[in-house]
Structure 1
Amino acid sequence: MNYRKLHFFFALSHLFFSVEPFTPAERYSHTSALVENKLYFLGGDGEFYSNEVFYLDLSQQFYAEYPSWTDLTANSGMSIKSSWAAAALTINDNNPTVYLVGGIMYNQNNEDSFTSLVYAFIPKSGQWNKPVIKGTEPARRRQFQIAADDFGNIYVFGGGADKYVGSQNLQVFNDMAILNTADLTWSYGPIVNAPSPRGGHSATLISNGVIVYIGG
């Protein structure tokens, strides 16, 4: 091996070994969705508001201390910085879609940048869109969880509104908005005997079709 080739080899080796894996910054108020064997994480707040999209491949073994993250932000980052939103997976026509609902929505200057209550992420293409939804849209809100059934319905219950989501007054909700993702329409469920207004709760759809709300 001549000196020129040797120098080129060392240069490539240095370049290769200097590349570090993606490590997400510490954060809270992000949301996540499991799509097949990939656990996607969206947005969040920490030292900064985030538009990041990254996932952990659960089909591969990994050490909990050093998980192998895959960052999609360069090509599939959100057009907004998102925190305190909720996410749910639906599958219509064999096409998995992650719906991101509500939350704080900021632009690059960390200013309120609300243009749509709902964003849709298509994992197969890595693309985002703002679906056009018919019906009466629920009020903007944050700090809630959503549940999706096998028919493509997403159930939005509770949450709170304040200046960070464009509300002049502090509000806490106990309405039930239902997004039908098959035909993209909003409807509303009954509120008779509904839990008290709340935010920060969990929402879990169990096998008998009942959604269990805990805490808040």
Structure 2
Amino acid sequence: MLPRRYNNGPSILHLFYVLTLGIFINEVKSFIPAEQYGQSSVLVGTKLYFFGGNRGFTLLSNEVFYLDVSQSFTSEIPPWVDLTSSAAIPFGSSAAAVSLSGTKDNPNIYLIGGLMNYSSVNSPKSLLHSFNTQTLKWDIPDIKGKVPKARMLMKAIVYIGGLNIGEINGIKIVDIAEIYLYDTKSDRWEVMDIYNMVNAQEYIEKNFPKDVNEVIAIDKQLEGSLDLSEYNNLTCVDIGINSRLTSLQLAHSSRITFISICATGIDNFSFLAYTPNIHAVCLPRGGDKIGSASGNAYFSKAIRESCQEKNKLQNSLEKSNRQIQTQLDQEKKKNSDNSQRIKELEQQLANVKQEILSLQSIFQQKQQTFDDQQSQIKELYDITFSNSTYNFTNLKKDIIRLKFQELAPQVRNESANLVQLISEAKNKAGNFSSIVDLILETQKQIVQNSETLKRENLSGKKEAYQTILASSLADEELQTLLNKQTEVLELETHLKSLKLM
């Protein structure tokens, strides 16, 4: 029998097919979360909300979806509800802390920290964002108090501790001994320490006499600045894993070969300039980025390689000196060759006498040339100053005075240009501004020193400073600054010599 029709409309069987097809389509298009980890979750009433996730350190998700646990369902096909199209996180997020606040009728979810902004998702504008489950809107509260540094893997409700990692690969993870409390009514952060911190200077002076060779104070909850300039016998300084330690000072020492300040708050490394024989340096890892570089491991590697290169050069020089000394000792032992050596010396003496005769001939020629030039100068003087008696001394003074007047403004202008270049370089160097002064002083010593060995040692020192500044100043900028300083030093030397004359 054919299916029954009404008013020439579709058959009942046709309607059944359409409804069946609709159900099939809806089932195919139901939301299924992608495979990932690092999602943040919180239960609001009967709805379990999920935020973000990590799909392999290359893409962070900004998804928002929930599961209504009041409904019965199977684990194979949970009834997920996707809110991403209308309520996506403004940035990629993973391993963040979440906490529920507000009233039953107007709940707010707070999303705190975590990994942020991989792939094409926008950069986050705040460490903390709030999400209203009624309006499906994200907001950034007007936060007061001390805001914590970026971190991940915290516990929510009370913001406890965390991992401040800075980067993912190649960087040591740093445990943070802090408890942060966020008051959702006043939008204010408060912080308190888990450990009782210890004044660094007091601890070191109490536990280490000033004549010790090593200061090792790892993970002692030290805080503040540390001055070891009176510890003159040090060979090793290891004060790592003290996150509240902010600065370190050392006296100039050729004995120190190892320094570790890893996992500290120290970001000024100018003390390295006073340790010429350093072999290894362990710098902070996992903290804030320094300058514009992508991690402190780069600085540690660059400084360590520079120090190693300098030590290789010094060892090579010492080896050469030993070889020369050995050759001299061997030469003294060759008594059998003394007679031949005497003949060689007699021949050298004859050659020297011949050279003296040649030099005397050259001197006579130069003297004749000088007499001719003196005569020409007198003629010029008579032409220029016809009414005055020729006086070579006065003429020399007049020439020096004119040259001094010509050179002095040039020195002032070039000095002003140098000051401008130094100021610009320090601004770009940021925390390494003191290194700019050190490299300029080293360049000055190179220019003013004529001894080859000292110049080579100073050049190695300059290269170490150049390596430190490479992340802030381009090679061309730094070379322009050094060239300008050399030019000014030469002009000043010339001007000084004229003034003395």
Per the normalisation by structure 2, the TM-score is 0.34
Give SS of 1:75's match: helix
Q: Tell me how far apart the structure 1 counterparts of residues 8 and 37 of structure 2 sit (CA, whole Å).
A: 51
Q: Tell me how far apart the structure 1 counterparts of residues 127 and 112 of structure 2 sit (CA, whole Å).
A: 6
Partner of 1:117: 127
Partner of 1:81: 92
- Answer with 1 or 2: which has the greater Rg: 2
Residue ranges of structure 1 left out of the alignment (5+ in a row): 148-154, 198-216
Q: Tell me how far apart the structure 2 counterparts of residues 103 and 78 of structure 1 sit (CA, whole Å).
A: 13
Would you say the 8 A contact 1:42–1:52 is kept in 2? yes
Q: Tell me how far apart the structure 1 counterparts of residues 52 and 144 of structure 2 sit (CA, whole Å).
A: 26
Q: State the one-letter code of the partner of 1:97.
A: N
Query: 1:56–1:65: structure 2 CA closer, same or farther, 3 Å change rule?
Result: same
Q: Tell me how far apart the structure 2 counterparts of residues 94 and 75 of structure 1 sit (CA, whole Å).
A: 20
Structure 1 residue 46, shift from structure 2 partner: 2.1
| 2:66 paired residue among 19, 32, 55 | 55
Partner of 1:184: 187
Tell me how many residue pairs correspond in the alignment.
186
Matches within 5 A, 1:69-148: 69-92=80-103, 94-106=105-117, 108-109=119-120, 113-147=123-157
* Cα deviation 1:98-137 (Å, max 9, x = unaligned): 10000011165268x2310001111111111111211110
Give SS of 2:145's match: coil
Query: 1:66–1:13: structure 2 CA closer, same or farther, 3 Å change rule?
Result: closer
CA root-mean-square deviation: 3.0
Q: Tell me how far apart the structure 1 counterparts of residues 121 and 92 of structure 2 sit (CA, whole Å).
A: 8
1:17 aligns with 2:24: yes
Would you say the 8 A contact 2:60–2:116 is kept in 1? no
Q: State the one-letter code of the partner of 2:44.
A: V
Normalized per residue, which structure has more helix?
2
Query: 1:190–1:107: structure 2 CA closer, same or farther, 3 Å change rule?
Result: closer
Q: Tell me how far apart the structure 1 counterparts of residues 150 and 52 of structure 2 sit (CA, whole Å).
A: 18
Q: Tell me how far apart the structure 2 counterparts of residues 110 and 74 of structure 1 sit (CA, whole Å).
A: 14
Q: Tell me how far apart the structure 2 counterparts of residues 86 and 76 of structure 1 sit (CA, whole Å).
A: 18
Residue ranges of structure 2 left out of the alignment (5+ in a row): 198-220, 222-240, 242-501
Structure 1 residue 11, shift from structure 2 partner: 6.3
Structure 1 residue 27, shift from structure 2 partner: 1.4
Q: Tell me how far apart the structure 2 counterparts of residues 109 and 97 of structure 1 sit (CA, whole Å).
A: 27
Q: Tell me how far apart the structure 1 counterparts of residues 196 and 134 of structure 2 sit (CA, whole Å).
A: 40
Would you say the 8 A contact 2:60–2:119 is kept in 1? no
Q: Tell me how far apart the structure 2 counterparts of residues 92 and 27 of structure 1 sit (CA, whole Å).
A: 31
Partner of 1:43: 52
Would you say the 8 A contact 2:49–2:64 is kept in 1? yes
Deviates more, 1:86-95 or 1:173-182: 86-95
Per the normalisation by structure 1, the TM-score is 0.74
Partner of 2:492: none
* Cα deviation 1:17-48 (Å, max 9, x = unaligned): 22321111111111100000000000011254
Q: Tell me how far apart the structure 2 counterparts of residues 70 and 88 of structure 1 sit (CA, whole Å).
A: 20
Structure 1 residue 191, shift from structure 2 partner: 2.5
Normalized per residue, which structure has more strand?
1
